């Protein structure tokens, strides 16, 4: 059953649904109920009636819920998911069609749009400060721009639509345009970038295999970001949480997991895992590298078996085996200059204990 929450209740990745809505020119999406989208009916109506003009239309954000199937163990059937689960399968393609209609994809300056991104869906949240007009004068198509109470100094949060492949490329181009317009934008310790990666096609066993493997690699993931991010208040080490498989497969404890660097609590609401490591940056190339690392990591577990992963983890006792484990997941070693023994040994021991 669709429901109509108040705008103030919109959560970060509710944009997986209402990111399809565009703000009226000159207004930010902040406590605002009026949206403009001449093709909103092709997203929400069944069947869609013909659209004859581009008139502004009032539309409330809508959340959809998928029925839970107790017969299957895939994440999308294990939990009652919000927003993205019912519509995300074809929405990214619809975004592209809409952007193409608006002529946005003909811009010869598009750079990231031409990059062959992985199609696995992601949602990105970028927190930034010193945006003096609240981004009211920036027309975003791949991002919802809203206020975040944790930020100061005219801070805003950019929240992406669900995206993979060409949609992701266009969103990165649009983000570069945002930073080019707001040259005074800055990032304090309050700012971070969160990457949600779709895990709806993973079984709960595969999700547990992902968590165990992440624990082995946690310090390497942190080596990609500023040292102050590791184990800060809003980005805690998951290796120190003493989690169990039931914490992953039962939603009762998911609300307590929000501030761990890998937050798998979002799998029971949005069908994602959230990588919270990255601090704020204007360097879109750095962000692209991080997103692709997260996508590649999750993608491996869609084809893996828990028993095989646990057996592999229990063989990890040397630098050569650590590297073999990394190459098995990523195809290459993203950390060729790191001391793998030093950065993995402690957490591998933890993962071995948790996997028993």
**Residue 20: pLDDT band with limits 50, 70, 90:** very low
In terms of domains, do 37 and 173 share one? yes
Query: Is pLDDT of 308 > 50?
Result: yes
In terms of domains, do 164 and 277 share one? no
Q: Please report whether residue 1 resides in a domain.
A: no
pLDDT in tens, 161-190: 888 899 999 999 999 999 888 887 777 777
Give pTM, 2 decimals: 0.77
In terms of domains, do 317 and 210 share one? yes
Find, among 229, 225, 235, the residue nearest to 289 by Cα. 225
In terms of domains, do 220 and 141 share one? no
In terms of domains, do 173 and 28 share one? yes
In terms of domains, do 90 and 152 share one? yes
Q: Please report whether residue 175 resides in a domain.
A: yes
At 39, is the secondary structure helix, strand, or coil?
coil
Query: Is pLDDT of 94 > 70?
Result: yes
Q: The domain containing residue 346 runs over which residues?
A: 193-354
The total number of structural domains in the chain stands at 2
| Other beta carbons within 10 Å of 52 | 7
Q: Please report whether residue 118 resides in a domain.
A: yes
Q: Please report whether residue 277 resides in a domain.
A: yes
In terms of domains, do 209 and 128 share one? no
Q: Based on the number of CB atoms within 10 Å of its own CB, is 147 exposed (0-12), middle (13-18) or buried (19 or more)?
A: middle
Q: Please report whether residue 187 resides in a domain.
A: no
């Amino acid at each position: 059953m669709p429901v109509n929450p108040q705008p103030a209740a919109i959560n970060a990745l509710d944009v997986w649904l209402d990111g399809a809505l565009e703000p009226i020119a000159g207004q930010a999406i902040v406590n605002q109920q009026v949206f403009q989208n001449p093709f909103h009916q092709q997203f929400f109506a069944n069947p869609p009636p013909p659209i004859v003009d581009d008139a502004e239309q009032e539309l409330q954000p809508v959340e959809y819920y998928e029925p839970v199937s107790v017969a299957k163990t895939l994440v999308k059937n294990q939990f009652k998911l919000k927003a993205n689960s019912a519509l995300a399968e074809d929405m990214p393609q619809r975004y592209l069609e809409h952007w193409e209609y608006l002529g946005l994809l003909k811009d010869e300056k598009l750079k990231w749009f031409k990059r062959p991104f992985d199609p696995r869906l992601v949602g990105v949240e970028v927190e930034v400060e010193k945006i003096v007009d609240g981004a009211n004068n920036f027309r975003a198509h791949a991002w919802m721009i809203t206020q975040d109470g944790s930020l100061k100094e005219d801070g805003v949060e950019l929240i992406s639509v669900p995206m993979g492949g060409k949609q992701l490329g266009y969103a990165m181009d649009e983000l570069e345009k945002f930073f080019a317009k707001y040259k005074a934008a800055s990032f304090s310790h309050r700012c971070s970038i969160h990457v949600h990666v779709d895990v709806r096609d993973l079984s709960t066993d595969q999700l547990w295999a992902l968590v165990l493997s992440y624990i082995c690699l946690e310090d390497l993931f942190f080596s990609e970001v500023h040292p102050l991010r590791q184990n800060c208040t809003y980005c805690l080490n998951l290796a120190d949480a003493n989690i169990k498989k039931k914490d992953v497969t039962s939603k009762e404890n998911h609300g307590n997991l929000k501030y761990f660097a890998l937050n798998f609590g979002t799998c029971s609401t949005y069908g994602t895992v959230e990588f919270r490591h990255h601090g704020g940056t204007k360097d879109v190339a750095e962000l692209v590298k991080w997103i692709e690392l997260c996508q590649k990591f999750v993608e491996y577990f869609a084809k893996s078996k828990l028993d095989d992963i646990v057996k592999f983890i229990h063989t990890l006792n040397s630098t050569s085996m650590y590297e073999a484990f990394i190459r098995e997941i990523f195809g290459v070693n993203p950390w060729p200059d790191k001391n793998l023994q030093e950065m993995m040994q402690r957490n591998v021991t933890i993962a071995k204990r948790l996997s028993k």
